[in-house]
Amino acid sequence: MSSEKRQLHLGLFLFGTGYHPAGWRLPEGRTDGAYDPQFLKEVAQKLEKARFDFFFLGDRLATSADMQYLFPSQMTRLEPFTMLSYLAAVTDKIGLIGTVNTTYAEPYNIARITASLDHLSRGRGSWNVVTGSDPRAAKNFSREKHWDNAKRYDYAEEFIEVVTGLWDTWEDDSLPRDKESGVFADGSKVHSLDFAGEHFSVDGPLNVARPVQGQLPLITAGTSLRSQQLAAKYSDMVFTGTNVKEVARAFYKEVKGRLPEYGRIASDLKVLPGLVPIVGRTEEEARAKYNELNELVVTDYDLRPLSEKIGIDLTGYDLNDPLPDLSSSETALHWAEMARKANGRPDITIHDLFYFFTVTVRGHLLVVGSAVQIADLIEEWFVDEAADGFNVCPPYMPGGLDLFLELVVPELQARGIFRTEYEGDTFRDHLGLSRPGNRFELQLKG
């Protein structure tokens, strides 16, 4: 795919109560969206009408009541593939990405679940591969501790090899279902996997026919060296969390630079940072919404995490004090500048910096402004190759999403960088990826 034909990719990262920790407290904010089938259906159909690439569900395997203060939308929620199977029945085009933590799963089961979703959605399924970062999950799966990073990634790579191999164990034309001859399955086109590795021993074949897409698009996340290697080898899309364009550009160049090692080219992998857009019909309206959300945060105003992040001790200051001299810390200067942009003024206080940190500590890019301002930022990151698109995280639901779809998407379409119609029917089509051949069939021909 040439650079002239690059197309912006947009997806929704669903936070049922919104990405902002206080999104659910707005008068118009939904508190039960993650459990309401009608609400979920309406959201997915809105995205499809706007020609979004995908609807994405994250997941985590541990929780606690104190998550309500920073992560209310992720404290409790439905199992991803159950929800996506429902959404497959009420949508026609949009990609459906579900998360599976390989550290606490079995590849044969996941191959079945993912292939089943792809059939039910007629080729729109996708798998987000994670290894887990919450050590509490181990206790929920009869383990004493969470594996270290190296073991988790070794296990995940072998896991992917098994799942993708199982998807190919039935060739596309292995089920003739010929009534006249009585041949339902052509045994010469059904293959054992016979996988034997350090962590898994799996015979196969899978008991689900080859997925509609042949191979479902694989998604990974993270910026560490090991996550980059995993992305370069296996991923069709990588999610990142950074709010600094220079950092994003460096990662974009580095991870795509690893692709040739695996016989791949730059367009084979899409890089999508997270984007938290607080949209207003005017800049002033957007700033007012940002301030309204912040004032609803439930917090004890503990300044220690912020102090640790920026490398300057703020615990002795009053919240209403102006920012002290931050020149001894580049990190502090950077966070202060981002907070000034979010507030739209230079004279921010420790209180303002604290709120900005609380909302953005998870790393995604927060932007506050009008549709034109937000479209300007999206286009800038896209054109400067800091991103191939964005994983959109609306701050509150459904209004935060509705304003983005109503105001920002048409602006991007008018600039010619985002589609006005889908180019195909499958998620691979949306990503500009061809349907791969079956490895067993290719081996026989080779």
Beta bridge partners of 396: none
At residue 432, the pLDDT reads 96
- For the chain, the domains span 3-281+366-445, 283-360
**Stated length of the chain:** 446
pTM above 0.85, yes or no: yes
SS3 of residue 372 by DSSP: helix
Backbone region of residue 70 per phi and psi (left: phi > 0; alpha: psi in -120 to 50; beta: other values): alpha
HSE-up of 405 (CA within 13 Å, CB side)?
A: 20
pLDDT at 446: 64
Rounded Cα–Cα distance for residues 55 and 43 (Å): 9
Which residue in 299, 92, 133 sits closest to 226, CA to CA?
133
pLDDT, one tens digit per residue, over 73-120 is 888 889 999 999 999 999 999 999 999 999 999 999 999 999 999 999
Per DSSP, helices labelled H in 91-178 are 107-120, 149-167
| CATH 3.20.20.30 is held by the domain 3-281+366-445 | yes
Centre a 10 Å sphere on the Cβ of residue 153 and count the other Cβ atoms it contains.
20
* Integer Cα distance of 129 and 157 in angstroms: 10
Please give the structure tokens belonging to residue 5: 């034909």
- Per residue in 222-277, pLDDT (tens digit) is 888 999 999 999 999 999 998 899 999 999 999 999 999 999 999 999 999 999 99
Angle between helices 283-295 and 350-360 (to 10 degrees): 90
Rounded Cα distance, 419 and 47, in Å = 13
Closest CA to 406 of 394, 416, 390, 422: 394
pLDDT at 62: 86
Give the contacts of 407 (CB within 8 A, at least 6 positions apart): 279, 281, 370, 371
Instruction: At 84, list the tokens.
Output: 């996506």
Cis before 27? omega within 30: no
The Cα 152–Cα 156 span in angstroms is: 6
* Residue numbers of the chain with a pLDDT score lower than 50: 1-3
